[in-house]
A and B are shown apart, each in its own frame.
Chain A
Amino acid sequence: MQPGEHILSNFNTALQELRETTLIMAAGAQRNLQNTINGLLERDKQLCNQAIADDEDEDQLEIQIDSLGLQIIVRFQPVATDLRMVIGAMKTATNLERISDQAVSIAKRSRKMLKNEEVPEVSRIEGLYQVAAGMLADSITAYSDSDIDLALTVVEREKTLKKTHKTTSRFFSEKLETQTGHYRDYLDLVLICRWLDRVGNLATNIAEDVIFETTSADIRHGGELPPELLEGNNKPEASD
């Protein structure tokens, strides 16, 4: 069901502004995560500093999105799809802000690690990063395109994320026990694994909110998608 334009043009404008601001924030969170990992792998302190500094923009965008959402609720009393869209944007903003916070945590640890000699196995982190960053990218695309199919693939990839996190984290934990000379770095890498896992979890939250926004089905915490949506993954047109 694709609703048409509102009679009130400023309602359309307000919703559009909310969505666009959320997408700008999403691009920022993605960039911060990318900068922070590149900073770690390429031993580029500047990129880490960039991610830490840019987090301030994400904080301000979260406040702006909440304010826009509240204004829409007060001025237009949205219902149905509009209401879910406003709530979805505000929740997505919260998740994006947390993702950016994870990027800051990684950047700070990375900056510390750059002071030491490079740990040879640091590139092992890239596999976990690719899974988490892929989930984030797809959840944002799903949000942008209201794509339930893509959102569902993000939710399903949480198992892969867990598995990759466990494997990578265990590898660094073992190194932590045996390579005592670099124990601080390996400890930092274990923590970075945890933060990347968290990024994947937050991307899953965004994907679940996309499904709620598009279909009103709440699949969080084991909730199931209605059968008719599982088959076609599109909201059925109701008959008159």
Chain B
Amino acid sequence: MHDMSNELTTLPKATKKKKSSTVIEVDDIGFSYDHGKTETLKGISMTVPKNQVTALIGPSGCGKSTLLRCLNRMNDLIDTAKITRGAIRILGQDIHAADVDAIELRKQVGMVFQKYNPFPKSIYDNVAYGLRIQGVKKKSVLDEAVERSLKSAALWDEAKDRLKDSALGLSGGQQQRLCIARTIAVRPKVILMDEPCSALDPIATAKVEELMLELRRDFTIVIVTHSMQQASRISDNTAFFYLGELIEYGPTTQIFTNPSVKQTEDYISGRFG
């Protein structure tokens, strides 16, 4: 595996100005969907820096979405799935430690999915949902959080006059940005995005990408994408996976101009499928 230890200290100038601390440490993680018989992830080690966008790329079945779902223990919901080795630490805390509650973890590590999935409720109620289940009832607090979240998700101007309307009446791109607003309402540390633009048109995609670049000032973002152009446009670092292994991880500029590993070059330039 290509050694990443020095790569993140040699980020391009644009991202080097602010020294980044590590938010996520993936340490030799192995993962299986079938009680450990076969490993879908084979000893992945990488670190994700704070306030940066890290893209996970690779062909279907390479394990990138599996790794993403490991980061907030979404795979716990699958009976036969198990971590076979290694550890994942978020802000220094082992997320599989006995005293870590998966629900609490997911408040810290929010997720946006490929298919936008607002609840069949009003725009306001969608954004306030996370806070309400945390026990927040005071209207002024909820109002402030809804406005802040919708503004952060660049949806406030479009939604402020229709907060009580059904979220399902929004366009696809607006619904995805609403899901992002819902995620950031509970102020997570990390936002995981699993192909968030794959169902959106180019304009809506551009708005979500612009939003991601804004959000990284306050959040650490990990995104799975099949779009090489999207990875190169929005991410600071890119990790390439193949058959459950991390093949190369480095600054996005380097990965897309001069990758070190032939498999990476072949994949990003469309040389194998």
Interface residues of A (CB under 8 A from B): 1-8, 11, 76-84, 216, 237-240
Q: For the complex, would chain B's binding face be called helix, strand, loop or mixed by DSSP majority?
A: mixed
Knowing A79-B228, A79-B232, A80-B256 touch, does A240 contact B268 (C-beta < 8 A)? no
Question: Which of B181-189, B199-207, B257-265 lines the interface with chain A?
Answer: B257-265
Interface string of B227-264 (1 = CB under 8 A from A): 01100100000000000010110000000111111110
Q: Is B91 an interface residue (CB 8 A)?
A: no
CB distance from B141 to the nearest CB of A (A): 46
A5 to B248, CA, bound (A): 21
CB distance from A164 to the nearest CB of B (A): 36
A76 to B270, CA, bound (A): 9
Contacts of B272 in A (CB 8 A): 4, 7
Q: Total contacts A to B, CB within 8 angstroms?
A: 58
Q: Is B102 an interface residue (CB 8 A)?
A: no
Contacts of A8 in B (CB 8 A): 270
A45 to B268, CA, bound (A): 53
Pairs across A and B, CB under 8 Å, 27 listed: A1-B262, A3-B262, A3-B265, A3-B269, A4-B271, A6-B270, A7-B270, A7-B271, A7-B272, A8-B270, A77-B229, A79-B257, A79-B268, A79-B269, A80-B256, A80-B257, A80-B258, A80-B265, A80-B268, A80-B269, A83-B257, A238-B248, A238-B260, A238-B261, A238-B262, A240-B245, A240-B261
A6 to B266, CA, bound (A): 8
Knowing A3-B266, A4-B266, A237-B262 touch, does A79 contact B273 (C-beta < 8 A)? no
Q: 8 smallest A-B Cβ distances: which pairs?
A: A238-B260, A216-B258, A238-B261, A79-B256, A1-B262, A4-B271, A82-B269, A79-B268
Are A78 and B269 in contact (CB-based, < 8 A)?
A: yes
Q: Which range holds the interface residue count of chain B? A: 20 to 34
Knowing A80-B257, A83-B257 touch, does A238 contact B2 (C-beta < 8 A)? yes
Most buried by B among A1, A2, A80: A80
Contacts of B262 in A (CB 8 A): 1-3, 237-238
A182 to B259, CA, bound (A): 59
Are A77 and B1 in contact (CB-based, < 8 A)?
A: no
CB distance from A215 to the nearest CB of B (A): 8
A17 to B222, CA, bound (A): 39
CB distance from B238 to the nearest CB of A (A): 11
Partner of B271, one of A6, A77, A240: A6
Most buried by A among B229, B248, B257: B257
A239 to B229, CA, bound (A): 26
Are A240 and B257 in contact (CB-based, < 8 A)?
A: no
A83 to B232, CA, bound (A): 13
Partner of A80, one of B245, B247, B259, B263: B259
Q: Which residue of A lies closest to B261 (CB)?
A: A238
Most buried by A among B2, B232, B245, B266: B266
A170 to B261, CA, bound (A): 52
Q: Which residue of A lies closest to B246 (CB)?
A: A240
Q: Which residue of B lies closest to A8 (CB)?
A: B270
A138 to B1, CA, bound (A): 38
Q: Which residue of A lies closest to B254 (CB)?
A: A216
Contacts of B245 in A (CB 8 A): 240
A4 to B247, CA, bound (A): 18
